[in-house]
Amino acid sequence: MTRTVLESKSKTVVIGFDEPFCVIGERINPTGRKKLAAELEAGDFSTVERDALEQVACGAMVLDVNAGVVYNSNPNPNETEPPLMRRMLEMVQGLVDVPLCIDSSVPGALEEGLKIAQGRPLLNSVTGEEDRLEAILPLVKKYNVPVVAISNDDTGISEDPEVRFAVAKKIVERAADHGIPAHDIVVDPLVMPVGAMASAGQQVFALVRKLRAELGVNTTCGASNISFGLPHRHGINAAFLPMAIGAGMTSAIMNPVRPVEMEAIRAANFLMNHDDNGAQWIAFSRILDAVEAGTPFAEASKASQASGAGRGGRRRRRA
């Protein structure tokens, strides 16, 4: 059984076929968040702090940290991203004790992150592009970390799932050449918006099954992409995630502060027999009770976490 082991200073998270779905919190990312980008350039990390605490309270098991700000004062990310990545990682791992996912398109920022991150972080990401393979895989090997492999290459993102599978296979093979085992590759098969491509859902489900059966790899995705541009997109996400989990998807990079999606994942874990005695579901159902009574989800989640509910099945009940 494939197991991708991530570690923080003191906590281990396993992404695996026999594990609860791994929720990787996506919020600490200035892309498309102008206010956060401006704050980061100004040295204000208060939003990062809040996002770190809130996401972990809501159930994120890993936090993605992306420092992709284009500064007004300096438009060269090769200069600005590495020190910002360092500061953000230091801050986040000082606040919360979950493994981190170092997310950048700048190799220098990835390496700076690898130097500072405690434990065994996830590197995000390598693609099938030749220059990325040659820049990133040596870092993966040198620091002995797992890596997200995105299924696009020098020809771009193919709409043909067979091509995306072939790209993933190439990355896994190239990684093997570097001495990196398949269980340290977490493939992102790329999720297209179902509003633009009618076969998008079925493509992902088929790809996940095939990646798992033929390459033996764990998988991840930017889950919310599936519902891009659609009304009531949380409803689409909340069906997509259980379907992807049923097909064998083992993690997603997503917003854990959304109760609808988190409810779908908790229920899917239970239905996959990855929630002993339903203890996690029952603890989560108390959070839902609080949300129904008017408490915001993040606040209800924090209160539940503080009470220790759902850890090791304590305080569980049969309803």
Which residues are at the interface with a copy of itself (CB under 8 A)?
A: 194-195, 198-202, 205, 226, 229-232, 235-236, 238-240, 242-243, 245-247, 263-264, 266-268, 270-273, 276-278, 281-282, 284-285, 288-289, 318-319
User: Of 45 and 270, which CB lies nearer to a copy of itself in the complex structure?
Assistant: 270
Phi, psi of 296 (to 5 degrees): -60, 150
Q: 148 forms bridges with which residues in the sheet?
A: 124, 186
User: Of 122 and 267, which CB lies nearer to a copy of itself in the complex structure?
Assistant: 267
The distance of closest approach from Cβ of residue 280 to a copy of itself in the complex, given in angstroms and rounded to an integer, is 12
Instruction: Give the length of the chain.
Output: 319
Reading the block at residue 284, the tokens are 């989560």
User: Of 53 and 239, which CB lies nearer to a copy of itself in the complex structure?
Assistant: 239
> How far, in Å, CA of 88 to CA of 103, rounded?
11
**Cβ count within 10 A of residue 36:** 21
> How far, in Å, CA of 41 to CA of 182, rounded?
38
User: Of 143 and 281, which CB lies nearer to a copy of itself in the complex structure?
Assistant: 281
Determine how β-strand 251-254 pairs with β-strand 22-28: parallel
The distance of closest approach from Cβ of residue 307 to a copy of itself in the complex, given in angstroms and rounded to an integer, is 16
Strands (E) located in the chain: 3-7, 12-16, 22-28, 62-66, 100-103, 122-127, 147-150, 185-188, 218-219, 251-254
The distance of closest approach from Cβ of residue 167 to a copy of itself in the complex, given in angstroms and rounded to an integer, is 23
Sign of CA dihedral 304, 310, 315, 316: positive
> How far, in Å, CA of 26 to CA of 245, rounded?
18
The distance of closest approach from Cβ of residue 236 to a copy of itself in the complex, given in angstroms and rounded to an integer, is 5
User: Of 165 and 284, which CB lies nearer to a copy of itself in the complex structure?
Assistant: 284
User: Of 41 and 159, which CB lies nearer to a copy of itself in the complex structure?
Assistant: 159
The distance of closest approach from Cβ of residue 96 to a copy of itself in the complex, given in angstroms and rounded to an integer, is 26
The distance of closest approach from Cβ of residue 285 to a copy of itself in the complex, given in angstroms and rounded to an integer, is 4
